[in-house]
Structure 1
Amino acid sequence: MIAFSIILFYICKETTSKPSPESLLKINKPNDSSIIGIWKHMSPHGPVKINFKENGVVETDLGDNNSVDVISNYVVQADTIKFIDKDGKSCPNHGIYKIYHRGYTVAFDVLDDLCNGRIKSTSGFWVRPNHMEQISQLNTIIEKTNDIEYVLHRGRMYLALSKTKLAKKDFDTYLKKDSLNAKVFIHRAATRFPNGLKGIVYDCNRAIALDSTDKNAYFLRGLAYYGLNEKQKGCDDFQKSIDLGFEILKQAEYDKCKEYWQNE
């Protein structure tokens, strides 16, 4: 009986003291409490770099070629940011965006902005200048753990860099284990342009079923429907996105949809 107890003690001791894969790794998670500093991403018009300074000024480099093309003031309140352009290729009115800061990436989602150029250059995911080092670290973490949150971080980083095939692969992996995250379906939809239009409709349908208030799901589905020559459906989705706050679409999609909108 004593011998059995000793054996059981060592079995339990080994089981409870065995370190997890995560504890064997030195994980240096990026700071997710401040946007101060430089961020980069690939916009529809090419690479962009922004530099948020502590004095409330942000400099935008359209082209990431060490120039300053726009100088703006910014104000952060809770999870929103207001841009007020002051100099350069500026917009006359302010723009307000929701901030999603996750350390490895920051994303800006337009809430109130009628400047199409700023929306295109600002919206979406951004990464830090040392993003390749961070991706390398994520590769190691993902290889040694089963934490799909790190897969999602990497997918967002790939999306910021317009590496859509790699991003889609990570979003596929994530959604196999968590199919209740509407945002990730929208992320994956964004990777399917320009040739995966039916897949975009599928992903946006899934996102809308989970969250019917996300304007981006209707916008992306509208683009896909329009590309599939289902123009009425596309314009209906654009209108729904406008109703949910994507005001710029009234101007941006007017020529496409005026005949459909006038009939309503």
Structure 2
Amino acid sequence: MDKNNYKAYYNKALIKEQLNDVNGAIIDYSKAIEFEPKHISSYLNRGNLKMNAEKYSEAIKDFNKAITLNPTLLQAIQNRGICKATIGDKTALDDFNRLITLDPSGEAYLNRALFYINNNYKQDYCSDLRKAVSLGFDHAKEFLKQYCK
């Protein structure tokens, strides 16, 4: 197999994704991975498509592989955490904590706060919401008003 074939499949997948051909894009990302099993973007993009299709367990597998290949890949860590949280996997908190350690963004703090809220954790989600707002993530303001009166 010519390893460069992965580029053709990857580019086809990107085009199909733009055309909202989700299944076709997933197939082509899979082909790209078949030719180049270390192509991180193929795992990440395929995982994102699966996540958006609510195939959370399948998406987690793709994010796991992307993270194995690049342990500091922020989008994969965040999206894996979101998928885990959605299916009730409490290890999502590990991903949100790791994300905050690597990149303490407002979105990361909001994701952890929402995890705390949805799982009735006693940790101070209000401090995470305040931190998210202070970092300029305005979307957290509505949650701050709702949960931290």
TM range (shorter): 0.7 to 0.9
> 1:21 is matched with which residue?
3
2:110 counterpart of 1:200: no
Residue of 67, 75, 78 corresponding to 1:186:
78
> Conserved in 1, the CA contact under 8 Å of 2:99 and 2:108?
yes
Give 1:190 deviation, angstroms. 0.9
Give 1:254 deviation, angstroms. 2.0
| Percent pairwise identity | 25
- What is the 5 A alignment of 1:10-159? 20-23=2-5, 26-27=8-9, 29=11, 128-146=19-37, 147-159=39-51
Q: Distance in 1 between matches of 2:110 and 2:138?
A: 11
Give 1:173 deviation, angstroms. 0.9
Q: Kindly tell me: are residues 211 and 145 of structure 1, through their superposed partners in 2, closer, same or farther at Cα, counting changes over 3 Å?
A: same
Moved over 6 A (4+): none
TM, length-normalised to structure 1: 0.49
Q: Distance in 1 between matches of 2:71 and 2:3?
A: 25
Report the aligned-residue RMSD: 2.5
Q: Distance in 1 between matches of 2:15 and 2:124?
A: 37
Q: Distance in 2 between matches of 1:246 and 1:186?
A: 16
2:127 counterpart of 1:257: no
Where in structure 2 are there 5+ consecutive unaligned residues?
Answer: none
Q: Distance in 2 between matches of 1:28 and 1:224?
A: 33
Point out the structure with the larger strand share: 1
Q: Kindly tell me: are residues 182 and 22 of structure 1, through their superposed partners in 2, closer, same or farther at Cα, counting changes over 3 Å?
A: same
Q: Which has the larger radius of gyration?
A: 1
Point out the structure with the larger helix share: 2
2:115 counterpart of 1:230: no
Q: Distance in 1 between matches of 2:68 and 2:82?
A: 18
> Conserved in 1, the CA contact under 8 Å of 2:43 and 2:62?
yes
Q: Kindly tell me: are residues 245 and 231 of structure 1, through their superposed partners in 2, closer, same or farther at Cα, counting changes over 3 Å?
A: farther
> 2:56 is matched with which residue?
164
Q: Kindly tell me: are residues 20 and 161 of structure 1, through their superposed partners in 2, closer, same or farther at Cα, counting changes over 3 Å?
A: same
Where in structure 1 are there 5+ consecutive unaligned residues?
Answer: 1-18, 32-101, 106-126, 259-264
Q: Kindly tell me: are residues 103 and 241 of structure 1, through their superposed partners in 2, closer, same or farther at Cα, counting changes over 3 Å?
A: farther
TM, length-normalised to structure 2: 0.83
Q: Which amino acid aligns with 2:77?
A: F
1:79-99 deviations in whole A, cap 9, x for unaligned? xxxxxxxxxxxxxxxxxxxxx
> 1:6 is matched with which residue?
none
Give the number of equivalent residue pairs: 147
Q: Kindly tell me: are residues 141 and 23 of structure 1, through their superposed partners in 2, closer, same or farther at Cα, counting changes over 3 Å?
A: closer
> 1:118 is matched with which residue?
none
SS in 1 for 2:71: coil
Give 1:167 deviation, angstroms. 0.9
